[in-house]
Amino acid sequence: MSEVEQKELAERDQALEQIAARLGVRAERGRRFAELTSLRVGGAIDWVISPETEEQAAAIVHELDQAGIGWRPLGSGSNVLADDHDHHYVVLSLSEMKGEVRIEDDRVSVSAGYSLPRLCIDVARAGLSGIEGLGGIPGTVGGALWMNAGAFGHEIGTVTETVRVARAGKVTEVPGDSIEWNYRRTSFREGELLLGATLRLTPDEPDSIKERMDDVKSRRLATQPHGARSAGCFFKNPPASTSGTGKIIDEMGMKGQRRGSAIVSPVHANFIVTEGENARAEDALSLAEEIRERVKLEQGIELEYEVELWRSNPEPPSEKQEQ
């Protein structure tokens, strides 16, 4: 790193410490993506900031933007593969921003840092149906909204009435139907912070909802690796193919294939799992690229990543957007 870059980072650090102290938000150094993501790989992060309330989160990103400090939101890190290098930006960790779930009739208001599996249990107990298919998806509500998480016939976008986002330092509500909810993709912009949502669900018998949740759970247990370090499905299913990506990779005989610390799961071929204390993102990425190349060569299909690849790019999206 050049002297100029070092000086810029030192100035940024000072500004950031002042902002965090003023807003009373915890700011830590010395964390690694390997601790913060479910794949348990990835390099050092300059700063991790952990707001606890929606108001605090809205205020802090506004101040960071004003100061020109790049940041990225992170929920539970269950859909992120961050590379092994040093990441010179701020990670806004939302897992402390849990808030409280408020249920009024068929409406449920929840903060972005709340656990999605926990929410599924809460609403099932309250006799509200519509997200029981999502019960086995690890992660936060914010991460699920960001990528329109879905499973077993349910997607979060279809039941989202409003989303609270951070705009100019304030919590602002936007209607769910103004957002495009696509397959594992939404129209939220890079650098936009989601603070919470109100879901509209359908009243049903708690016992029937629980039965459906149990069914989904046993189907997951039968078909997916559990207790393994993964990020769920690595690739999206190809739109033009009748086969799912897992089946395509399995039929190429790639289950169990290994690159260093990364393995194609022997249970589900669209899961890459990592092993060992010093597992490397590079191994997972090169294994993923090998899969993509073979699928392209042998099937003529261009696989698209479902997992997000986070590069240690000094210019993260929230800065780019400002330009």
Ligand X SMILES: Cc1cc2nc3c(=O)[nH]c(=O)nc-3n(C[C@H](O)[C@H](O)[C@H](O)COP(=O)(O)OP(=O)(O)OC[C@H]3O[C@@H](n4cnc5c(N)ncnc54)[C@H](O)[C@@H]3O)c2cc1C
* Number of residues that this document lists for the chain: 323
In angstroms, the Cα distances linking 318 to 66, 69, 93, 212 are 11, 9, 15, 40
Q: Per CB under 6 A, does 199 bind ligand X? A: no
Tokens matching residue 106: 């068929």
**Candidate list 33, 47, 114, 146; residue touching ligand X; CB under 6 A:** 146
Tokens matching residue 240: 């033009």
Tokens matching residue 261: 């610390």
Interface residues for ligand X in 288-317 (CB under 6 A)? 308
| Residue 209 or 231 with smaller CB distance to ligand X | 231
| Residue 69 or 193 with smaller CB distance to ligand X | 193
Query: Which stretch in 61-69, 117-125, 139-147, 174-182 sits in contact with ligand X by CB under 6 A?
Result: 139-147
- The residue among 67, 77, 9, 3 whose CA lies nearest residue 42 is 77
* Distance from C-alpha of 175 to C-alpha of 170, rounded to nearest angstrom: 16
Q: Per CB under 6 A, does 82 bind ligand X? A: no
Q: Per CB under 6 A, does 78 bind ligand X? A: yes
* Distance from C-alpha of 184 to C-alpha of 54, rounded to nearest angstrom: 24
* Distance from C-alpha of 190 to C-alpha of 65, rounded to nearest angstrom: 13
Rounded to the nearest angstrom, the gap between the alpha carbon of residue 269 and the centroid of all alpha carbons in its chain is: 21
Q: DSSP state, 236?
A: P
**Candidate list 51, 70, 135, 143; residue touching ligand X; CB under 6 A:** 143
Smallest gap from Cβ 151 to ligand X, in A, equals: 4
* Distance from C-alpha of 80 to C-alpha of 143, rounded to nearest angstrom: 10
In angstroms, the Cα distances linking 144 to 115, 150, 197 are 10, 8, 11
By rule CB under 6 A, what count of residues binds ligand X? Answer: 31
Alpha helices, H only, 24-115? 33-36, 54-66
Smallest gap from Cβ 91 to ligand X, in A, equals: 9
Q: Per CB under 6 A, does 74 bind ligand X? A: yes
Backbone CA torsion sign across 88, 90, 93, 96: positive
Query: Which stretch in 15-23, 71-79, 197-205, 241-249 sits in contact with ligand X by CB under 6 A?
Result: 71-79
**Candidate list 12, 62, 72, 212; residue touching ligand X; CB under 6 A:** 72
| Residue 17 or 119 with smaller CB distance to ligand X | 119
Query: Which stretch in 4-12, 224-232, 282-290, 297-305 sits in contact with ligand X by CB under 6 A?
Result: 224-232
**Binding-site string for ligand X from residue 27 to residue 66, where x marks contact by CB under 6 A and - marks none:** -----------x----------------------------
Sites of contact with ligand X (CB under 6 A): 38, 72-80, 94, 112, 137-140, 142-144, 146-147, 149-151, 184, 193-194, 230-232, 308
